[in-house]
Amino acid sequence: MAVSRGLHFFQNPGPTNIPDRVLRAIDRGTIDFTGAQFKSIAEECFAGLKRVFKTEHTILGYAASGHGAWEAALVNLFSPGDKVLVVETGYFSLNWGMRCESFGLEVETLANDWRNAADPAALEKRLRDDRGHELKAVLVVHNETSTGVVHDIAALRRAIDAAGHPALFLVDVISSLASIDFRMDEWGVDVVVAGSQKGLMLPTGMAFTGVSAKALAAAADAKLPRVYWDWRRLVEGTSQAWWNGTAPVHFFYGLQEALRMLEEEGLDNVFARHHRLAEATRRAVRVWRQNDGPEIFAVDPRAQSDSVTAVLTPEGFDANQVRAACLERFNVSLGGGLGPLAGRVFRIGHMGDLNEPMILGALAAIEMALDLVGVPHGKGGVDAAMDYLVNEA
């Protein structure tokens, strides 16, 4: 068995590195989740989450992954046979639509090329054509983790408004929250689904839902079966007062510390750091693109994600061989391609608890791995990333 020394560079686009401060916060005894001490911690956490979501609306937490927050949104808002519009952005948008179908909803997909951001004009046209308002909701992934493309939520909201359509607006921020600017209230989002394991820097296992007053009203009339996810059992007034089972106390210890870390840095500085590390990554890939080498999957620079870069390998080369060389030779873990992108892309996560030496170390490992597996590429990608970081310091 090979023995690895030194730190494992975990550059997957989620879960992400867990800061020592968060690990230390979790490393303590449990407390009574019905008592005053936990109530105080939970209130601090929900107040902090509202600042990250940029909302005054209700936020709910569950013991689940982000997929649980998807499911919670569906079963609380809809009735069997309801029709929803999924804006195609990549693997995760279609996966969300598949879950809708599993619950007996009628799903229409607004087709879109995975390499480009969703077109607000196409959304507006489709909603104008829906004169009978059969579409009950529009579902969008803010930052599509499978493609590294970020979608303009504000522009999509304007498209809904321009069409004069009453559809609920549901947005997945699982790989953008606390990494890329998101504004629930300003952008008129009715339901936000999020997870703990990416920008919030926690282990996988807790999910969050931001819920507008319009969405809470819709939930009162929804007919899909729900027990564990039932918002009516959790909400008192406009706040979460109850838990579907035992509250995940240790996640709240960690969340309390993670939110404090985000506020110490300042959200705008968090976003700027993510952009800086993402742009350094993109500078490296643009150099690798020379000699018919790998390229950034997202075509439009304005839509290239600040939390994950998907890299398309040249035709005839297996992206998983690059990933394997990184892991086996250099102890660097990258994300793989999903669905039709399996074997075609590798994904570099640059979100959460991350700094310049960490991203440069990962880029150096990738550049060496490209050499090892014989993928053609331009030389000097890491130098380009360093030059950018020096000049942007």
CA 305, chain centre distance (Å): 10
Q: Is 5 part of a structural domain of the chain?
A: no
The CATH number linked to 386 is: 3.90.1150.10
Give pTM, 2 decimals: 0.96
Which of 184, 104, 181, 175 has its CA nearest to residue 145? Answer: 175
pLDDT of 388: 98
How many structural domains does the chain have?
2
Same domain, 275 and 195: no
Residue found under tokens 């005839």? 316
Q: Is 327 exposed, middle or buried (0-12, 13-18, 19+ CB in 10 A)?
A: middle
Same domain, 118 and 146: yes
Q: Cα–Cα distances in Å, from 308 out to 95, 180, 199, 340, 383? A: 19, 11, 11, 18, 20
Q: Is the peptide bond before 15 cis (omega within 30 degrees of 0)?
A: yes
Dump pLDDT digits (tens) for 344-372: 999 999 999 999 999 999 999 999 999 99
Residues composing the chain: 393
pLDDT over 80 at 4, yes or no: no
pLDDT over 90 at 93, yes or no: yes
Same domain, 79 and 170: yes
Name the domain boundary from 263, 279, 302: 263
pLDDT of 237: 84
Same domain, 330 and 370: yes
Specify the long-range contacts of residues 264-269, CB closer than 8 Å, at least 24 apart: 267/51, 267/52, 267/178, 267/181
Q: Which domain holds residue 317?
A: 266-391
Q: Is 190 part of a structural domain of the chain?
A: yes
pLDDT over 60 at 171, yes or no: yes
Which of 150, 170, 160 has its CA nearest to residue 96? Answer: 170
Q: Is 60 part of a structural domain of the chain?
A: yes
Q: Cα–Cα distances in Å, from 213 out to 56, 93, 235? A: 10, 25, 12
| Cα–Cα distance measured from residue 138 to residue 147, given in angstroms and rounded to the nearest whole number | 20
Q: Is 91 part of a structural domain of the chain?
A: yes
Q: Is 284 part of a structural domain of the chain?
A: yes
Q: Phi first, then psi: give them for residue 139, nearest 5 degrees.
A: -115, 125
User: Average pLDDT in the 140-149 region?
Assistant: 98
What are the tokens at 201?
A: 């820097």
Task: Say what percent of the chain tops pLDDT 70.
Answer: 99
Same domain, 345 and 378: yes
Contact 172, 151 (CB under 8 A): no
Dump pLDDT digits (tens) for 122-131: 999 999 999 9
For the chain, strand residue ranges (E) read 9-11, 58-63, 83-87, 106-110, 135-141, 143-144, 149-150, 168-172, 191-195, 206-211, 235-236, 239-240, 295-296, 308-312, 332-336, 345-349
Amino acid 210 reads: G
Dump pLDDT digits (tens) for 202-243: 999 999 999 999 999 999 999 999 999 999 999 988 888 899
| Contact residues for 390 (Cβ-Cβ < 8 A; gap 6+) | none
Query: Taking all residues of the chain, what is their mean pLDDT, rounded to a whole number?
Result: 96
| Cα–Cα distance measured from residue 70 to residue 170, given in angstroms and rounded to the nearest whole number | 9
Name the domain boundary from 263, 291, 319: 263
pLDDT of 352: 97
Residue found under tokens 């950018």? 388
Q: Phi first, then psi: give them for residue 240, nearest 5 degrees.
A: -75, 125
Q: Is 35 part of a structural domain of the chain?
A: yes
Same domain, 354 and 330: yes
Dump pLDDT digits (tens) for 250-283: 999 999 999 999 999 999 999 999 999 999 999 9
Same domain, 189 and 49: yes
Same domain, 229 and 297: no
Q: Phi first, then psi: give them for residue 99, nearest 5 degrees.
A: -65, -40
Q: Is 61 part of a structural domain of the chain?
A: yes
pLDDT of 5: 81
| Cα–Cα distance measured from residue 102 to residue 135, given in angstroms and rounded to the nearest whole number | 17
Dump pLDDT digits (tens) for 292-318: 999 999 999 999 999 999 999 999 999
Dump pLDDT digits (tens) for 29-51: 999 999 999 999 999 999 999 99
Same domain, 212 and 271: no
User: Average pLDDT in the 59-83 region?
Assistant: 97
Q: Is 37 part of a structural domain of the chain?
A: yes
pLDDT over 80 at 147, yes or no: yes
pLDDT of 392: 82
**Half-sphere exposure of 302 toward its Cβ, with a 13 Å CA cutoff?**
4
pLDDT over 60 at 21, yes or no: yes
Which of 145, 155, 95, 91 has its CA nearest to residue 122? Answer: 155
Same domain, 281 and 256: no
Same domain, 248 and 270: no
pLDDT of 248: 94
pLDDT of 1: 54
Contact 363, 386 (CB under 8 A): no
pLDDT of 6: 87
Same domain, 219 and 122: yes
Name the domain boundary from 247, 263, 279: 263
The CATH number linked to 50 is: 3.40.640.10
Q: Phi first, then psi: give them for residue 6, nearest 5 degrees.
A: 80, -175
